[in-house]
Structure 1
Amino acid sequence: MLLLILSTLLSFLSVHTKFITNPLMKWMQSSSKEEISKRNEIKSLQSAQQKLSMVDNFVEYSKIQRKINRITESLKEKELENSNSFYMKIGIPYGLKMIIITLLVILCFYYRSSPLFYLESSINLFPFQYFISFANGKNSVSFHFWVMCCTAFARSIKL
């Protein structure tokens, strides 16, 4: 029973890895406390700058603008460091998919000669019996066939 649940879950996860990778990527790319404080500082400086007249208080206005520009540049550098993580954006989803598929292949080799479950004797699988119960007895469902069916079903579902 555990093998049936595990194989079904791994088959669905091999197709829909986005359920794991999307929250993980959002968590990894979330803003740090330093970035949030810098953004708040920019907002406060911009509000102070809007209160000043550019013509009357040009010196103060330009000082505030230079501070805003300096903070904005440091934020852009941080964002550039985060956006350069191309390997993370590609490596995490495909790496997780490769781990799941490798685990499924290992399980297929380990359980190649043991049936996942048996069907009633009244059910006749005549034309497809060899494919459904590959390397097992009559009226049994093999691990390979179950994984293929679950994967095909998971691909047909648009989540």
Structure 2
Amino acid sequence: MLEVINGFLLVYFIVLTTISVLIPHLVKPIAACFTRPSLEEKASFAEVKRLKNEQKSISMKEEFAAYHKLQRKINEIENRLKENSQSRMSKSLAVKSTVHIALQAVVALIIVISVIWFRREPIVALEGNLFPLSTMLQYPSETPNAISTHVWVMISNLSIRTLLKPIVS
């Protein structure tokens, strides 16, 4: 049987480890806020669309010069959009990696500080005698047959990563 000694810490560390697992999926929407197409790019997209519609109304055989003049304008704008898109993609990659590293560092720091702060607090107690493992599971707590904060973080991290693997992959 399992007896919860400190329910707050149990839930607290489960939430922290869940956030840690979900960080790669939280980064995408956060980074998307910083790398949206500019108003100039949106206007260029609209211009290309307008020019292509105009080009459709022109007969290529009868008005060859006008048709190709529009085609050159379209190509020029699309080349500019391609350059801007590549620039935006490299910026997006930089933002994603920065946000990912920052979030991982913050969550890891919170977990490490919390584990140090609550190192002597047992999270749950198990019934029975777990002789070969009891010392390792309870260290540095002095409650018999308890699972300490350190071990609870490792157990919850492994369990949550295993449970969420099919969902987040």
| TM-score, structure 1 as length reference | 0.83
Matched residue pairs, number?
157
Higher relative contact order (CA 8 A, sep 6+): 2
Aligned partner of 1:49 in structure 2 is 55
Letter matched to residue 106 of structure 1? I
Determine whether 1:58 maps to 2:81: no
**Alpha-carbon distance in structure 1 between the residues aligned to 2:128 and 2:35:** 53
Letter matched to residue 155 of structure 1? R
How far residue 46 of structure 1 moved from its aligned partner, in angstroms, is: 0.7
Aligned partner of 1:108 in structure 2 is 115
| TM-score, structure 2 as length reference | 0.79
Which sections of structure 1, spanning at least 5 residues, go unmatched?
A: none
How far residue 19 of structure 1 moved from its aligned partner, in angstroms, is: 2.9
Aligned partner of 2:4 in structure 1 is none
Partner SS, residue 67 of structure 1: helix
Aligned partner of 1:96 in structure 2 is 103
**Alpha-carbon distance in structure 1 between the residues aligned to 2:115 and 2:140:** 12
**Alpha-carbon distance in structure 2 between the residues aligned to 1:132 and 1:39:** 61
Aligned partner of 1:22 among 10, 28, 46: 28
* Runs ≥4 residues deviating over 6 A: none
How far residue 95 of structure 1 moved from its aligned partner, in angstroms, is: 2.8
Aligned partner of 1:126 in structure 2 is 131
Q: Give the root-mean-square deviation of aligned CA atoms.
A: 2.1
How far residue 138 of structure 1 moved from its aligned partner, in angstroms, is: 1.1
Letter matched to residue 44 of structure 2? K
Aligned partner of 1:70 among 66, 70, 76: 76
Q: Percent identity?
A: 29
Determine whether 1:5 maps to 2:34: no
Aligned partner of 2:86 in structure 1 is 80
